[in-house]
Structure 1
């Protein structure tokens, strides 16, 4: 069941203002942590045997966890319909991460502004998977911008899209699948087979939102379209390249390129034609991100008017 755009906007506003306070998380972990715990338990129990057995177990794992989330969301949609809009907005805010994403990247920016590379490496290591110990200022800014671009889709646009399209049911299922992709959707052993269903389903659910995310960056920047259309298909992911290439084009910098993961150098494709980002470009990227969030909010507000009829 589709959600009222103003309800979705209300949830986004709650998350932007309040987020999920660290003190609350210490007492009641964020629901994503519960999903991660369930996935790890099923991983330890089911991820064994042949490749076929692991793939079937991975499909079953995703169906169980995402199905449970969908049932919970559907029950809440029915229970809150018509009168529980405030509660629905509060619950919906748990599936969004606009504020937390901004705060994490802003921590990296502040450390770079203070010329504290150790703190900047530690901060960027919280949001990227690559090795950060040897990154210089440009490398830190590049890693932070890439995470900001990709997570704009995963943490903001895709949750908004599925909340709007399917209510709390759609939001809960998306967040569960996206979390499963993060936890088990890896190409490396022992998840190559077990995480196959999570990775492919996450790809499917992000097909439309990722392209919306890239378009929002290009719209608010007034440029970046050509870079996005040219470079997005270079990415190994069918989706991550769209916001990343759009960010590169919008800021006229180069993202991607070689990066080290667990001591192994990976030759990744590059996005954009400009120089490597500087800390100033990271500040510009955060501004671009905030404007793109603002445009998304404005579109939700406009979309709410037909619901008044």
Structure 2
């Protein structure tokens, strides 16, 4: 059942994304996870509790999220299959659809490229601020372009490959448990003093959940980009994250660009390593045409996922 569900969910997301009308009416399912996280954080993440206790309470928060997300997914999947029999997989695919972000990711990154191509640097900064956590107010065109490309590569794993992986492996409970963990990591899985203890479990579990998908993402980007393997193997471990470096290094290699490098967060500059070895002197730094090229690679990599899901369904 998982294979036609995965293929249908991919098709629904590619065709519709998550429609604005639906978002205005019912929000997005990850909003439930965010409310749970915010409620637990407000109640439990207090300095008075001490580091060890906050870490334990962070683990408890993650357990609650997993019970809610996987439990609702398991119940919904079971009810649909019991009620609709052989057609139940269609309902499962519809409920898996919001867990994917193919269309949304493409649209957000394309908006950055359009502003860069139009010479609208302030607009490009505003557009890229929608998808990255770094400071964007002082970014030049190259910085905006690199930020968009890095987000596209990393989010290809978080928003497309990893949800598909867990959907294929564990069905609806798997995909929504993954989205709950990924949401927790994005909200509290940070190294700042406020989050270091309470968000520890979310960050570590997210690393585990993305370990295989990140490496698959890197391989798919290299296949779609017709190269990049050398940079993937050499630079994937330069990223602070054990996973994000794989798709980013693959994209840097496929594009022949340098990505990452020094980045500012909340006014503090972080001296991060460069990934890739694009020769700025020879070709100039990143620009709008590189975002367009990255989007083309992204679309081909998504198509490869479609072929994997379709092939698995046909073989089954």
TM-score (norm 2): 0.95
Tell me which residue corresponds to 1:56: 56
1:78 and 2:78 matched: yes
The 1-side partners of 2:65 and 2:2 are apart by 26
Which of residues 257, 266, 278 in structure 1 aligns to 2:287? 278
For each residue in 1:28-68, what CA deviation from the matched residue of structure 2 results, as whole angstroms up to 9, or x when unmatched?
Answer: 11011121111101100111211000000000000001111
Which of residues 158, 164, 167 in structure 1 aligns to 2:171? 167
- Following superposition, the deviation at residue 159 of structure 1 comes to 0.2
- Following superposition, the deviation at residue 23 of structure 1 comes to 2.3
Tell me which residue corresponds to 1:234: 238
For each residue in 1:108-165, what CA deviation from the matched residue of structure 2 results, as whole angstroms up to 9, or x when unmatched?
Answer: 0111111111110000000001111111111100000000000000000000000000
The 2-side partners of 1:277 and 1:254 are apart by 8
Instruction: Count matched residues.
Output: 305
The 1-side partners of 2:258 and 2:160 are apart by 23
Q: In structure 1, the residue corresponding to 2:136 is in which secondary structure?
A: coil
- Following superposition, the deviation at residue 88 of structure 1 comes to 1.1
- Following superposition, the deviation at residue 77 of structure 1 comes to 2.0
Aligned ranges 1:100-139 → 2 under 5 Å: 100-139=104-143
The 1-side partners of 2:21 and 2:5 are apart by 26
Tell me which residue corresponds to 2:34: 36
Tell me which residue corresponds to 2:10: 12
1:260 and 2:273 matched: no
For each residue in 1:186-237, what CA deviation from the matched residue of structure 2 results, as whole angstroms up to 9, or x when unmatched?
Answer: 1102110000000000000000000000000101122101100100011111
The 1-side partners of 2:213 and 2:163 are apart by 9
1:290 and 2:290 matched: no
Q: In structure 2, the residue corresponding to 1:260 is in which secondary structure?
A: strand
Tell me which residue corresponds to 1:193: 197
- Following superposition, the deviation at residue 262 of structure 1 comes to 0.6
The 2-side partners of 1:33 and 1:123 are apart by 22
Which of residues 26, 29, 34 in structure 1 aligns to 2:24? 26
Give the structure with the larger helix fraction. 2
Which of residues 290, 293, 315 in structure 2 aligns to 1:306? 315
The 2-side partners of 1:305 and 1:27 are apart by 37
Which of residues 124, 148, 156 in structure 1 aligns to 2:152? 148
Q: Which runs of 4+ in 1 moved over 3 A?
A: none
TM-score (norm 1): 0.97
2:224/2:298 contact within 8 Å kept: no
Q: In structure 2, the residue corresponding to 1:94 is in which secondary structure?
A: helix
- Following superposition, the deviation at residue 27 of structure 1 comes to 1.8
Aligned ranges 1:182-221 → 2 under 5 Å: 182-221=186-225
2:2/2:167 contact within 8 Å kept: no
Aligned ranges 1:87-98 → 2 under 5 Å: 87-98=91-102
The 1-side partners of 2:287 and 2:141 are apart by 7
Q: In structure 2, the residue corresponding to 1:134 is in which secondary structure?
A: coil
- Following superposition, the deviation at residue 270 of structure 1 comes to 0.8
In the alignment, structure 2 segments of 5+ residues that lack a partner are none
